[in-house]
Structure 1
Amino acid sequence: MQQRFVPLYEQLRGADPASSQPIQGFWLIHSDEPLISQWIIDACRPIWQAHEQTIKRIELTSAKSWTNVITELDSLSLFGDASAIIVSGNHKPDKDTLDALARIAPDTLHHLLWQTPKQDKKSLSTKAIKLFDQLGLIIDGNIYDERMRGELLRMQARHIGVTLNADAWQMLMMHTEHNLLTAHQNLWRLSLLYPNATIDIDMLTTCLVDGAEFSVFDLSDTVLAGNTPKALQILNHLKNTDTAPSIILWALAKDARLILQIQAGKNPSNLRIWRNKISSYTNAARRSPTLTSQSWLSAIYDIDKTIKGVNDANVWRLLQQLVLSLCGTPMRSNQLTMP
């Protein structure tokens, strides 16, 4: 079954976690916008927690990684606890794995959420995607035009309690054209600066100017270039301007995964990298020692756990360590400036 993102998201957000049925079965969400996938996870999380579903994450580094997914789906603790299994990556399961998924899907107590990049018409017709369509749910999380982006942003504005007048909305859409993340960051900033106020153009202009110096995209470009001093400067700026650590992690994790795929022999032209960024990713892949880059996924997982409150580590220091590693800089204690 196929489902548009907005109706499903609103349904999940409006549900009472305690009285809702547990979320079970196989879901696939495909989108090139990291925020969309994160919003679905955030909407599911209260229901998972209400039904004591343990959240587990699995990164697909190859088709063989699906073995770990099958192991989790086949397992239940002595107390019968189910899990919410978040799977990230574009590696499709092989025939044996598809057979196992088809066997498990009808009766599973787990919730499997597979996050992939945008799937084109050809990809949507593959056996793996068809299995999720037939036995589970496929969520189209793609933004096809500015009208859809505006709909998503207005929905999020309602949820975070920020109101813009018509002129301010028009200005925000023009200033952040085609960029969902930047627009969402500005909405969060407005909600903090002007709580319970209707935002006009003057208020919005102040916010846009204050936040215009650096963005997570600047951090990504600088990390790919291996410019350690500037990368640390941008990270510090993002911290001081209250940029959510989860947003920074999304950008760094995306870069890390693409670099790892290039190091594994993938053709950058087939990895949905913008043509003008291919050389940057290729150079970063050549610059980073394989042993170092293999530690990135573990670091990303640790940061994600810290953001979710699983441990009390310093998330900004962990992000700083990841930035240094992605830049290809040997880490020294005097470089760790985050408190």
Structure 2
Amino acid sequence: MKLRPEQLDAHLREPLQPVYVLTGDEPLLLQEASDALRRAASTQGYGERERHGVERGFDWNDLLAGCQSLSLFAERKLLELRFSGKPDASAAEALITLAARPPEDTVLVITLPKLDGAAQKAKWLTALDAAGVIVTFYPVDAAALPGWLQTRARQLGLRLQPDAQQLLAERTEGNLLAAAQTLEKLRLLHDGGDIDIEAVAAMVSDSARYSVFDLADAVLLGDAPRVARLILGLEAEGQAESVVLWALQKDLRGLTLAAEQMHSQGLRSPSPQLLGQLGFWAKRQGPAQQALRRLPLARLQRMSSGLIDIDKAIKGQSPERAWDALLRLSMAMAGRPLFTA
């Protein structure tokens, strides 16, 4: 039986099923679902908890033998299997066995990363679906993130002002755990009430000397000397190249879409509403306007088409050094390309 994530809480107030499969690539949502299952199991008398991290070489024979050896005095048990990857052949066979004969007085909780198309059609998942419940958790995309933040803030007794909500969404996009932790800190420090943009800015500012957000702002402003210093500083501090690319790519995508709309509609500048829709909150719209005056559409599209080469450099699939590629992109976006094209 498949459940949507929002159905899980109501379902857990009923007698538990023998098997639960939690799958997805959003760690926070998986963790919170696991916690909810543990609370429900404890409430319903499952007093023992057994956990296993499943890696290659896991001893399935030992686990299956333990599940089949029944004791008259055994406690009701929550058995958790946490996979770091897709089940291999031996794991698939064991899961089919467990689904066919779920251990008595036991709730089996299987946590898996996001499943590809082949895994979703596999016999082992079909067997688990027939034996219990499957819940798939999807990432909260950029469009839905502000609403997710506002809902979670209300649950904590907070009211996010619109610009504070937008800043928090921008700074935590793709990382729900960071978003949730920031809201928890805001609750502790402000004890409810309205949260303004200054409070969020202070909370999400990077403690490191160099920040990818400082880099993104310098790029929009066309401050090429500062851009170069920030790239060198981020490299020296060991910042992940993929995070730097994410910050640059996010703004480049927004600028390109804005320039395309300006071109198609014959506009000399984008409206604040359009910039807001493309992820540029109020205080960044002026710098974004500067960038659009500096960078013609053809150049933006050319830089966008080159992102795949930078990604290859980060993954070691290109002879170009990743940090050199990032410096090249950031300087071009700042209006000071290192090479003429």
Q: Distance in 2 between matches of 1:198 and 1:53?
A: 41
Partner residue of 1:172 out of 152, 155, 168: 168
| Local SS of the residue matching 1:27 | strand
Change (3 A) 1:142 1:69: farther
C-alpha contact (below 8 Å) 1:162/1:196 kept by paired residues: yes
The C-alpha deviation readout for 1:190-210, integer Å capped at 9, x for no partner, is 11111122211122122122x
C-alpha contact (below 8 Å) 1:143/1:149 kept by paired residues: no
C-alpha contact (below 8 Å) 1:22/1:48 kept by paired residues: no
- RMSD over aligned CA atoms reads 3.0
Change (3 A) 1:149 1:275: farther
The C-alpha deviation readout for 1:94-129, integer Å capped at 9, x for no partner, is 365245223313x74311111111112221111111
Query: Counterparts in 2 of 1:1-339, with a 5 A limit?
Result: 1-8=1-8, 10-11=9-10, 20-50=13-43, 51-62=45-56, 64-89=58-83, 90=85, 91-92=87-88, 94=90, 96-105=93-102, 108-143=104-139, 145-209=141-205, 212-213=207-208
- TM-score normalised by L of structure 1: 0.54
Residue identity matched to 1:61: E
The C-alpha deviation readout for 1:2-58, integer Å capped at 9, x for no partner, is 2222331x436xx6xxxx455331111111222121101221222222214312111
Residue identity matched to 1:57: R
1:183 positional shift? 1.2
The C-alpha deviation readout for 1:201-231, integer Å capped at 9, x for no partner, is 122122122x5439xxxxxxxxxxxxxxx99
Q: Distance in 2 between matches of 1:82 and 1:115?
A: 20
C-alpha contact (below 8 Å) 1:26/1:112 kept by paired residues: yes
| Local SS of the residue matching 2:135 | strand
Change (3 A) 1:147 1:29: farther
Change (3 A) 1:178 1:134: same
Change (3 A) 1:275 1:52: farther
Q: Distance in 2 between matches of 1:197 and 1:92?
A: 50
C-alpha contact (below 8 Å) 1:48/1:54 kept by paired residues: no
Tell me the matched-pair count.
213
C-alpha contact (below 8 Å) 2:96/2:124 kept by paired residues: no
C-alpha contact (below 8 Å) 2:50/2:80 kept by paired residues: yes
Change (3 A) 1:39 1:76: farther
Q: Distance in 2 between matches of 1:276 and 1:71?
A: 48
Structure 1: state its 5+ residue gaps. Answer: 215-229, 232-273, 280-339
Residue identity matched to 2:10: Q
Change (3 A) 1:109 1:57: same
Q: Distance in 2 between matches of 1:277 and 1:55?
A: 42
Structure 2: state its 5+ residue gaps. Answer: 210-236, 239-310, 317-341
Residue identity matched to 2:78: A
C-alpha contact (below 8 Å) 2:156/2:187 kept by paired residues: yes
- TM-score normalised by L of structure 2: 0.54
Residue identity matched to 1:103: A
Q: Which has the larger radius of gyration?
A: 2
